[in-house]
């Protein structure tokens, strides 16, 4: 990581304080959250971080670039656009973000009024919700098709992998709209209700999908 001096510093010889010198500003951790699911264009970040003004977003991106956490890249055709991506130093933050998300699950039952939600946020949310003890001998791959967003999730012998995009030959394909997907909290009861109501449609084994859901828990 570059040795640039942060704009603001706590001035403490403590690793927590030094980390907060880099990431403690408002919106910074949410920027990292967005980029953990892949490169994003400036306009994408502006959409997903509704409420941040253009100058502040630009300032935060410049600060993270200066710290060697974020870099600009050129997206290939057909996008042909400049985007922001995490460097290896930025990608190394995923365990910390997952731990923070896991801690935040205790507040998930009472979201703020008019809280925003986007399907791709579930990539990190499912990692935070995953309970490996329930998946010791389980091998199931799921492909979620949520309107224009494609998300995959794979359980393999107690491990969990999720991301954006498609995977070959998934065991279960789940199709739904964003509103129905937002109701999915990992609860088997919720999944049954979504299936029975027709809000989500699956190709593959219903039993396998319920097993998949049983490995996700809303609260830590």
The reply to whether 85 and 134 lie within a common domain is: no
The reply to whether 206 and 131 lie within a common domain is: yes
Residue 204 lies in a domain: yes
Residue 113 lies in a domain: no
Cβ(23)–Cβ(37) under 8 Å? no
Residue with tokens 């706590």: 10
Bridge partners of 137? Answer: none
Residue 104 lies in a domain: no
Residue 106 lies in a domain: no
Cβ(84)–Cβ(39) under 8 Å? yes
Q: Which stretches in the chain have pLDDT values below 50?
A: 1-6, 220
> What is residue 188's predicted lDDT score, i.e. its pLDDT?
87
- DSSP-H helix ranges across 78-166: 88-91, 94-104, 122-129
Residue 73 lies in a domain: yes
The reply to whether 52 and 129 lie within a common domain is: no
Total residues belonging to the chain: 220
The reply to whether 81 and 151 lie within a common domain is: no
The reply to whether 132 and 54 lie within a common domain is: no
Structure tokens that stand for 116 in this block: 């925003």
The reply to whether 69 and 149 lie within a common domain is: no
Residue 2 lies in a domain: no
Residue that terminates a domain, selected from 77, 92, 107: 92
Per DSSP, 75 falls in state P
- The CA distance from 146 to 98, in Å, is 22
Residue 3 lies in a domain: no
pLDDT tens digit string along 191-214? Answer: 999 999 999 999 999 999 999 999
> What is residue 203's predicted lDDT score, i.e. its pLDDT?
97
Range of the domain at 70: 15-92
> What is residue 44's predicted lDDT score, i.e. its pLDDT?
96
The reply to whether 82 and 135 lie within a common domain is: no
The reply to whether 128 and 175 lie within a common domain is: yes
> What is residue 4's predicted lDDT score, i.e. its pLDDT?
47
The reply to whether 74 and 154 lie within a common domain is: no
Kindly report the number of other CB atoms within 10 A of residue 42's CB atom. Answer: 16
The reply to whether 25 and 70 lie within a common domain is: yes
Number of domains in the chain: 2
CATH number at residue 49: 1.10.10.10
The pTM of this model reads 0.86
Dihedral pair phi/psi, residue 35, rounded to 5°: -80, -15
The reply to whether 85 and 168 lie within a common domain is: no
Residue 114 lies in a domain: no
Q: Where are the beta strands (DSSP E) in 51-181?
A: 70-74, 82-86, 139-146, 149-156, 159-164, 172-176
CATH number at residue 186: 3.30.1050.10
The reply to whether 26 and 61 lie within a common domain is: yes
């Amino acid at each position: 990581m570059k040795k640039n001096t942060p704009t603001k510093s706590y001035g403490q010889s403590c690793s927590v304080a030094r980390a907060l010198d880099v990431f403690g500003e408002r919106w910074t951790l949410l920027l990292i959250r967005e980029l953990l699911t892949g490169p994003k264009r400036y306009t994408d970040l502006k959409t997903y971080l509704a409420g941040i003004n253009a100058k502040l977003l630009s300032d935060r991106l410049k600060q993270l670039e200066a710290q060697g956490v974020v870099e600009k890249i050129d997206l290939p055709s057909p996008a042909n656009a400049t985007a922001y991506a995490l460097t290896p130093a930025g990608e190394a933050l995923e365990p910390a973000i997952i731990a923070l998300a896991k801690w935040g699950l205790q507040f998930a039952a009472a979201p703020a009024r008019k809280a925003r939600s986007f399907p791709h946020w579930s990539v990190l949310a499912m990692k935070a919700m995953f309970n490996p003890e329930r998946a010791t001998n389980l091998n199931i791959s799921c492909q979620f098709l949520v309107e224009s967003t494609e998300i995959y999730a794979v359980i393999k012998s107690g491990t969990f992998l999720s991301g954006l995009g498609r995977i070959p030959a998934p065991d279960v394909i789940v199709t739904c709209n964003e509103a129905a997907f937002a109701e999915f909290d990992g609860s088997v009861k919720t999944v049954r209700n979504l299936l029975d109501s027709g809000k989500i449609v699956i190709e593959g084994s219903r039993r396998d999908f319920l097993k998949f859901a049983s490995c996700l828990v809303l609260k830590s």
